[in-house]
């Protein structure tokens, strides 16, 4: 997926020293960015503009653990790209079509640059990052929806009937997509089983 030359691509998680502290800080920043309900101003969902001068792109590298450095910046950028360019009933990264994946990748390459010789690796790291972050984005979308539902005195829960959340979508997901995600995935018995088994490791989207 990566192109030749010094490119940009994004991954969440990066740090060569002080890894544990970096993980906590990056995770908190990511959580803050994800916690906005649909009634709020988009804020962190505003897509970062690609600099007109390519030399202004942020420099990152792939570290020894196959993650990008400057993780807080990368996590925020990936989250904003995913939410702002969200354009389908996608409940997992594998459901995002190639056209939209490529568009997200191209935008990230406009924001970041890395050593040319690691271009292919950077593309793989970015893809892996999007795949790993997607469940968190979906989980927080459901949590934001639940907050709105409760504010409207709807007796709903994430463990109960998620069809009650249809009218309380996050502002970055279109109504038709949100309803389809709920109807075709999140209210199915299969998803509920996976949700229960994945509670401890947060892998279910």
What is the pLDDT confidence band of residue 194, given thresholds at 50, 70 and 90?
confident
Are the C-beta atoms of residues 111 and 54 closer than 8 Å to each other? no
Q: At 58, give phi and psi (nearest 5°).
A: -75, 135
Distance CA 43, CA 91 (A): 23
Are the CB atoms for 83 and 137 separated by under 8 Å? yes
Q: Which residue has the tokens 């190639």?
A: 98
In degrees, rounded to 5, the angle at the alpha carbon of residue 63 between the alpha carbons of residues 60 and 68 is 45
| Mean per-residue pLDDT over the chain, rounded | 80
Q: In angstroms, rounded to a whole number, what is the distance separating the alpha carbons of residues 51 and 100?
A: 21
Q: Cα angle vertex 68, ends 134, 123, to 5°?
A: 70
Instruction: Report the C-alpha gap between 91 and 100 in whole angstroms.
Output: 14
Q: Residue 119: is it exposed, middle or buried by C-beta count within 10 angstroms (0-12/13-18/19+)?
A: middle
Predicted TM-score (pTM) of this structure: 0.74
Q: Measured between alpha carbons, how far apart are the two ends of the chain, in Å?
A: 24
Output the DSSP codes for 129-184. Answer: HHHHHHHHHHHHHHHHHHHHHHHTT----TTS-GGGGTT---TTS-HHHHHHHIII
Q: Can you give the pLDDT at residue 27? A: 45
Tens of pLDDT, residues 56-91: 899 999 998 889 998 888 988 999 999 999 999 999
pLDDT at 41: 33
Query: Distance between CA atoms of 82 and 77, rounded to whole angstroms?
Result: 9
The total number of residues written for the chain in this structure: 205
**pLDDT digit string, tens, across residues 29-56:** 444 444 444 333 344 567 777 877 778 8
CA 118 to centroid of chain Cα atoms: 23
């Amino acid at each position: 997926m990566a192109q030749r030359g010094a490119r940009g691509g994004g991954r969440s998680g990066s740090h060569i020293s002080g890894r544990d502290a970096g993980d906590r800080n990056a995770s908190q920043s990511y959580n803050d960015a994800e916690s906005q309900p649909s009634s709020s101003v988009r804020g962190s969902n505003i897509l970062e503009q690609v600099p007109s001068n390519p030399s202004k792109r942020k420099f990152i590298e792939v570290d020894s653990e196959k993650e990008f450095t400057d993780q807080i910046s990368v996590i925020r950028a990936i989250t904003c790209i995913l939410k702002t360019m969200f354009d389908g009933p996608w409940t997992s990264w594998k459901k995002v079509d190639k056209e939209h994946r490529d568009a997200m990748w191209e935008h990230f390459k406009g924001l970041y640059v890395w050593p040319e010789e690691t271009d292919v690796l950077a593309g793989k790291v970015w893809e892996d990052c999007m795949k790993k972050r997607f469940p968190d984005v979906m989980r927080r979308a459901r949590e934001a929806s639940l907050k709105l539902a409760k504010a409207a005195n709807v007796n709903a829960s994430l463990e109960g009937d998620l069809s009650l959340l249809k009218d309380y979508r996050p502002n970055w997901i279109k109504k038709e997509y949100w309803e389809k995600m709920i109807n075709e995935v999140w209210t199915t018995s299969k998803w509920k089983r996976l949700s229960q088994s994945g509670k401890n490791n947060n892998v279910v989207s």
